[in-house]
Structure 1
Amino acid sequence: MGVKRILMLVGDYVEDYEAMVPYQILTMVGHKVDTVCPGKKPGETVKTAVHDFEGDQTYSEKRGHNFLVNADFDKVDVNDYDALVIPGGRAPEYLRLNQRLIEIVKEFVAQNKPIASICHGQQILVAAGVLENVACTAYPAVMPDIVKAGGKWCDVNDTFTNAIVDKNFVTAPAWPAHPEWMRKFLELLGSKIEP
């Protein structure tokens, strides 16, 4: 399979499951995941939020865990990485304002490296201007942004369990889609998981 080095973009109030679970899955299969956050150094943490679907018109939000930042955002060189993961939550809303973070995303796209983005993470892809003619999905409230950015919106079923692959992008609507989202991302990485 070969160890892949993966960059994960996080920030305060990143969605807990959307950072923790992919981190654990990817490291479990032997990949190295560097978690970075603008303004935070290795050894510091970001606060997470747990978003849940409890029958309301939108998700509810609860305080999650502290998630470790293990690499230095200011030293990121895209050439050192094989892929990118962008979790959702509230963090993408303000992370997309960081110009260097947007440049990093554009560099991954320019080098045609696999990108896994989930839920509100696609707000960062929209801000980077990289979704033109890309079929993708996201949390439904992000649909207008994706369509205005030239992306091809893909509806998924009500249980949020589907993930969409187009070119080097793997997108999903929310954490219930983790099994499909991570399986498809691992396939793009060339990782083999035997049943």
Structure 2
Amino acid sequence: MTGKKLLLITGDFGEDYEVMVPFQALQAVGHEVDAVCPDKEAGETVKTAVHDFRGDQTYLEERGHDFELTATLSEVDPADYDALVLPGGRAPEYIRNYDAVIDAVEHFFAEDKPVAAICHATQILVAADAVEGRTCTAYPALEADVRANGGEWGEGVVTDGNLVTAQAWPDHPEWIAAFLDVLGTDIQHGQPVTAD
């Protein structure tokens, strides 16, 4: 399998698991992932937030890790990438206001390239007019946003053409598997080798 080149766009207080898990998992199966953030350069970090579900009406938020960016948004060309990953957290609510973020999202949809969005990342899709006529999902509180912008609401993990969406990090196994399927990633499962 030849790995693909993927672009991951996040910002300060992106959800920790939703940034780190796909970033690492996609690399583990052979893809190259560039992580970028508006107004920050390669080598700088963003602070992540941990969202936990403890039976309250919404999630609890705590400070996560520092996540190092691998590229600079102003220097990358979306045309050089095969797919886009949009993590959730609080970052989407403000990075959706950056023209470079919206331009990148619009490129991936115009070229029918795979896009994976989870949780609050659907706020970016809404800002880029990418949900109209599509079935997608997000953190449940965003159902009204999806419907108000012409989208159909789905549950769990939803694949609609090139778009794979999920509600939150507990969906990672199904979300990442569905995205790998859309990417055409072929993973060969071998038998574990043990030393005698």
Bin the TM-score by the shorter chain.
over 0.9
The residue aligned with 1:44 is 44
The residue aligned with 2:159 is 165
The residue aligned with 1:28 is 28
Deviations, residues 36-56 of structure 1 (Å, cap 9, x unaligned): 001000000000000000000
With normalisation by structure 1, the TM-score equals: 0.95
Aligned-residue offset at 1:193:
2.1
Compute the RMSD of aligned alpha carbons.
0.8
- Runs of 4 or more above 4 Å deviation: none
The residue aligned with 2:192 is none
SS in 2 for 1:84: strand
User: How many residue pairs end up in the alignment?
Assistant: 189
Partner AA of 1:138 in structure 2:
A
With normalisation by structure 2, the TM-score equals: 0.95
Aligned-residue offset at 1:79:
1.2
Partner AA of 1:12 in structure 2:
D
| Percentage of pairs with the same residue | 56
Report matched runs for 1:130-169 at 5 Å.
Answer: 130-154=130-154, 156=155, 162-169=156-163
Asked which structure has the greater CA Rg, the reply is: 2
Alpha-carbon distance in structure 2 between the residues aligned to 1:76 and 1:148: 32
The residue aligned with 1:59 is 59
Aligned-residue offset at 1:33:
0.2
Partner AA of 1:65 in structure 2:
H
SS in 1 for 2:33: strand
Aligned-residue offset at 1:118:
0.1
Report matched runs for 1:37-186 at 5 Å.
Answer: 37-154=37-154, 156=155, 162-186=156-180
- Structure 2 unmatched ranges of 5 or more: 190-196
Alpha-carbon distance in structure 2 between the residues aligned to 1:114 and 1:124: 15
Alpha-carbon distance in structure 1 between the residues aligned to 2:125 and 2:104: 11
Aligned-residue offset at 1:122:
0.4
